Structure 1
Amino acid sequence: MAQTLYFMRHGETNWNAEARLQGQQDVPLNEIGRAQAAEAGRRLATVLPEPDSLPWQVSPLGRTRETAELARKAIGLPPNRYKLDDRLKELTFGNWEGKTWAELRSIDRNMVKARSSDKWAYVPPRGESYAMLRDRIAGWLKTVNQDLVIVSHGGVARVLLALLTGIPGNEAADAAIWQGKLLVFRGKTAEWV
């Protein structure tokens, strides 16, 4: 892929702080998350002197929209000038959404153990695996024909790591994806800023 992607993960939510699975639930940013969103915008401005020169594509969930708006505002850009794309939504954890890992272990330790042994391919009940998300994101990538700023989710970043850098799926599924920072995909490399 010849394009450069400037990726921001949404800022922290209370569910992130509680280690509660959000998936596609619409959980708002907390105060820390709002500060992280502004910081991600400032980091973007350090690597992209004219951040408004590129289109922004954003997951339609509230925490990503708010992150995009706060990041844009922090660097003097009109907050609402971005495009939503459903394909950039987080993977869904299905019946697991809203629960913590401790709660899930008390409900069914074997399911949690099965996911831990193959995080990339495991499908939670009524949910989605990273492999399934990969198919959605691969379809989206086929439409990308220019450099972009993306505001999305940890799962999407992990899949992009696998698709764009060649990291094996199970390794990508365990990658730390930071809030308040910028992940720049250029060629077959990914670098945190």
Structure 2
Amino acid sequence: MNTDRPGEPDLMARMEPVQLLAAYEAVSPMPVRAEFIEGRAFLPLAPPGDGHGDTVLKLCFQLRSAAVPHAGIGNGFRFADRAHGTTALIIPDVYAMRREPTSTDEAHFAAHPGWYPIDMLALVGEVTSTDHGTDTGPKLRTYAAAGVPVYVLIDRHSQTAHCYTDPVLPGDDPAEAYYATDIKVDLGEPLPLPAPYPTLDTAAFIEG
């Protein structure tokens, strides 16, 4: 994904991230769903390709087949705190939510159009595409800072799969967050996830 910033820096500094992305999407010549991570608007650099989409669906299918509750794709989530306001607006490739959206969650979605609160997330999954560094850097740190318990990464660049757990935020800066535990396997090997999640068949993610 591209880290291009829409608008001038002074304009960006004045705009709340939800409004910033809405303004960009309103003038985009084609449908686009931007994300906001570590102070930047992340925009699609290029269509991710069939391999990415196929892997995303296979990952979601494995979670659904194991009856993981509230597993899905497509929703956006907002990470915020009192000190910094909106820290991130992020759209996981795959996720499992802790709960069905409550009336409070839906009120948040209405107040910040298009974005649910990030504390709904129990698990996230990302599949690398045109810019694998986004998923292995800014997104990893953001999920850890938000306290998402499990981050599954299918790294098509290195042909590895990861299960990150035990998020740590050592200070007040979300960019310093990390996951203390990384279970890593080569694609083709089973990837164990913590209960109640299944062991993933990563051979399904190898592109022919």
Q: Per residue, is there more helix in 1 or in 2? A: 1
Query: What is the TM-score when the length of structure 1 is the normalising length?
Result: 0.29
Query: What is the TM-score when the length of structure 2 is the normalising length?
Result: 0.28
Structure with more contact order per residue of length (Cα contacts < 8 Å, sep ≥ 6): 1
Q: Per residue, is there more strand in 1 or in 2? A: 2
